[in-house]
Structure 1
Amino acid sequence: MPRFHCPLPLAAGAQVALPATAARHVQVLRLQPGDALTLFNGAGGEWDARVLRMGRSDVEVQVDTHHAVEREAARALHLVVGMPANERMDWLVEKATELGAASIQPVAAARSVLKLAGERAERRQAHWQAIAVAACEQCGRNRVPAVHAPRPLADWLRAAPPPADELRLVLSLRAGSRSLPEAAAGTAPVWLLHGPEGGLAAHEEDAALAAGFAPASLGARVLRAETAALAALALLG
């Protein structure tokens, strides 16, 4: 059944006009009055619904039964990602959402190719958030991970709140790093930091360690930035 993100208050019996993006998707799929669909608004669970009216550019639906179903990871996994260049960041956001990331914080590191600021950063953040929404529609998640505004890694480390009941891990090739499953043992939420192409510079990794991150390893092979992030999410999710 087609699934659509509808970030509006939903209640059984309500008649609502779908947001523009969802309405366009319904029209592309050529749904007709009476056809069934599923809605979720990010507040938990999902709703049965059916099309009431198809306009030229708007769609009205009837909201029916709520189902308190969740498909989240067993623990909160927050990804702090050194932004890879070109379409790789789009792909990373999509796959990280499918693998259960609770949030995604893009950061610019010393070796980052992609540098964003101002309106360009705002546009890319909105673009990545839309990718996360579409990935939730596809994979069945009912809670959309927040894709935060890009910021320099050093700024993010300075502003990050002190760890409470959570783990902070940085993917590292340093000798003596524990394996990721060992370092992340337990059920506490995890903040997972990794670098862009070329990895974190030594001074950046030192700053992460000073901010409470522990080094963790994915093994002896050197993985691409986007591969490392997704492999880590798959191991922990």
Structure 2
Amino acid sequence: MRIPRIYHPAPVTQGQQLALSDDAAGHVARVLRMGPGQAIQLFDGSNQIFNAEIVQADKKRVQVQVLSGEVDDRESPLHIHLGQVMSRGEKMEFTIQKSIELGVNVITPLFSERCGVKLDAERLEKKRQQWQKIAIAACEQCGRNRIPDIRPVMNLEQWCAEETTGLKLNLHPRAHQSINTLPQPVEQVRLLIGPEGGLSADEIAMTAKYQFTDILLGPRVLRTETTALTAITALQVRFGDLG
């Protein structure tokens, strides 16, 4: 059996005995049915991993002994900040999960003119918390030891106007550049992915005002979730750690 990887939301140190979070304890004790003497691996977002052993387990509480720790860097040299116009339901969750597996560092959900999601502030915050849990689970699965940040939802222009030293990219079906023609080297990218219906003409003009470069992925029209993952993969192959 593969040793389970569990995120712990507080700093972990070698030799420490600690109680897992409620969510983690429920997963270990009730779902995995693990008990005293069995091994798990912890990570706390510090880019380290910690080998630990369960010393006590019941349905509500799991206590572990931390045996050893070491740095385990799985991060790409390319820092990607994904600005994703929100899509409905499971599509957004899928995009978040898979983009984190591919190495994205920050995700900002966005509102645009053609955004199909209409939620009030309270429900948006609940969604953000849910998306952050999906990010943690993706890191547990893929081996990343830093947790990407899911930022609060922003208006498209507000996000585009933020200061950054990285390359700004906007996918556009009539662009003349591709990822393969971008100059090297690139260490930071701010990647904008629009909604199912695409950005409006005014929004595309606005991105140009903030020095976004229009790029083309290929001859076919892709769904928004496919677009995000294809672009991230292409960026990681050219500038990051894939391929």
- CA distance in structure 1 between the aligned counterparts of 2:86 and 2:180, rounded to whole angstroms: 24
Counterparts in 2 of 1:43 and 1:184: CA distance versus 1, 3 Å: farther
- CA distance in structure 1 between the aligned counterparts of 2:231 and 2:18, rounded to whole angstroms: 40
The number of equivalent residue pairs is 233
- CA distance in structure 2 between the aligned counterparts of 1:217 and 1:184, rounded to whole angstroms: 15
Aligned twin of 1:199: 198
Aligned twin of 1:95: 98
Q: Deviations over 1:60-118 (max 9, x none)?
A: 11112112111112211111011111210011111011111001111011111112331
**Residue 151 of structure 1: CA displacement?**
1.8
- Give 3-state SS (helix, strand or coil) of 1:61's partner: strand
**Residue 175 of structure 1: CA displacement?**
4.1
- Give 3-state SS (helix, strand or coil) of 1:229's partner: helix
- CA distance in structure 2 between the aligned counterparts of 1:187 and 1:69, rounded to whole angstroms: 24
Following superposition of structure 1 onto structure 2, how do residues 171-210 of structure 1 map, counting pairs within 5 Å? 171-176=171-176, 178-183=177-182, 185-210=184-209
- Give 3-state SS (helix, strand or coil) of 2:136's partner: helix
Gaps of at least 5 residues in structure 1 are none
- CA distance in structure 1 between the aligned counterparts of 2:148 and 2:172, rounded to whole angstroms: 25
Task: Return the TM-score normalized by structure 1.
Answer: 0.94
Is 1:131 aligned to residue 130 of structure 2?
no
Contact 2:98 2:229 in 1 (8 A): yes
- CA distance in structure 1 between the aligned counterparts of 2:78 and 2:159, rounded to whole angstroms: 22
Cα-Cα RMSD: 1.3
Counterparts in 2 of 1:44 and 1:85: CA distance versus 1, 3 Å: same
Gaps of at least 5 residues in structure 2 are 237-243
- Give 3-state SS (helix, strand or coil) of 1:96's partner: helix
Contact 1:184 1:190 in 2 (8 A): no
Following superposition of structure 1 onto structure 2, how do residues 1-237 of structure 1 map, counting pairs within 5 Å? 1-27=3-29, 28-158=31-161, 160-161=162-163, 163-164=164-165, 166-176=166-176, 178-183=177-182, 185-237=184-236
**Residue 150 of structure 1: CA displacement?**
1.2
Task: Return the TM-score normalized by structure 2.
Answer: 0.92
- CA distance in structure 1 between the aligned counterparts of 2:18 and 2:7, rounded to whole angstroms: 13
**Residue 205 of structure 1: CA displacement?**
1.3
- CA distance in structure 2 between the aligned counterparts of 1:132 and 1:119, rounded to whole angstroms: 20
**Residue 126 of structure 1: CA displacement?**
0.3
Counterparts in 2 of 1:95 and 1:221: CA distance versus 1, 3 Å: same
Counterparts in 2 of 1:134 and 1:216: CA distance versus 1, 3 Å: same
**Residue 182 of structure 1: CA displacement?**
2.1
- CA distance in structure 2 between the aligned counterparts of 1:2 and 1:225, rounded to whole angstroms: 32
Contact 2:124 2:153 in 1 (8 A): yes
- Give 3-state SS (helix, strand or coil) of 1:50's partner: strand
- CA distance in structure 2 between the aligned counterparts of 1:218 and 1:46, rounded to whole angstroms: 37
- Give 3-state SS (helix, strand or coil) of 2:214's partner: strand
- Give 3-state SS (helix, strand or coil) of 2:73's partner: coil
Contact 1:183 1:216 in 2 (8 A): no
